[in-house]
Amino acid sequence: MEFTVAIDGPAAAGKGTISKAVAAHFGFAHLDTGLLYRAVGAKVLDGVEPIEAARNLTPSDLESEALRTSDIAQAASKVAVISEVRAALVAFQRTFAQQDTGAVLDGRDIGTVICPDAAVKLYVTASPECRAERRYLELSAKGHDVTRDGVLADVKARDARDSGRAEAPMRPAEDAILIDTSDMTIEEAVARAIEAIEAVRA
């Protein structure tokens, strides 16, 4: 039976880790929808026009580890304000959500626009400073040349662009469960998410 979990929230709040853990726990398929926007952003940095890039995206475009840089994150949030770019990515996301195994999609507008009928909606957040510190540690562990201040500026600029845009702005759906991970360990945040899903599945 179709069962969709929508997980939204700002950059580096823990959505990705929670989504992967939830998918593994329940056997759901997982789509990190940010990768779609990152892949379009990466193509734009290579000189492709954004709408054309979004319309011609293929699943193999999502596989590169190189999509995780701060430059591509910024490029992603710039293409994400373009309504034709968002429209070109809707069908892929909705089809993914309809799998028999159940699916978890994480992003900014999953509970509000892509899957407004999702069985469970979570909005995962944390203070900008916590999120920047986590992203700084993650990127520097991977060998990226980043500074704490630079990552904090990136996170704040994207938060402002993502929540201020006219099309599908980042915001919690009215029926979303809020999880603030600022003072939680990752295990606590994952347990909270699993508990919320189990309450609906029972």
Q: Which residues bind ligand CDP (CB under 6 A)?
A: 11-12, 16, 33-34, 37-38, 73, 76-77, 80, 107-109, 158, 162
Strand partners, 29: 103
Shortest reach from residue 115's CB to ligand CDP, in Å: 11
Closest residue by Cα to residue 168 from 79, 73, 53, 86: 86
Shortest reach from residue 179's CB to ligand CDP, in Å: 15
CA distances from 25 to 14, 29, 68, 158, 193 (A): 16, 11, 25, 30, 11
Identity of the residue, 11 or 177, whose beta carbon is nearer to ligand CDP in the bound complex: 11
Using CA atoms, how far apart are residues 118 and 97, in angstroms rounded to an integer?
9
Whether the CB-CB separation of 3 and 105 falls below 8 Å is answered with no
Shortest reach from residue 202's CB to ligand CDP, in Å: 28
Identity of the residue, 73 or 146, whose beta carbon is nearer to ligand CDP in the bound complex: 73
Using CA atoms, how far apart are residues 162 and 56, in angstroms rounded to an integer?
23
**At 30, is the secondary structure helix, strand, or coil?**
strand
- Tell me, what amino acid is at 161? R
Shortest reach from residue 192's CB to ligand CDP, in Å: 18
Shortest reach from residue 113's CB to ligand CDP, in Å: 8
Identity of the residue, 153 or 199, whose beta carbon is nearer to ligand CDP in the bound complex: 153
Identity of the residue, 12 or 177, whose beta carbon is nearer to ligand CDP in the bound complex: 12
Which helix (H) or strand (E) segment is 87 a member of?
Answer: helix 83-97
Identity of the residue, 11 or 44, whose beta carbon is nearer to ligand CDP in the bound complex: 11
Closest residue by Cα to residue 190 from 92, 122, 112: 122
Identity of the residue, 16 or 150, whose beta carbon is nearer to ligand CDP in the bound complex: 16
CA geometry: angle 13, 27, 198, nearest 5 deg: 70
Shortest reach from residue 58's CB to ligand CDP, in Å: 18
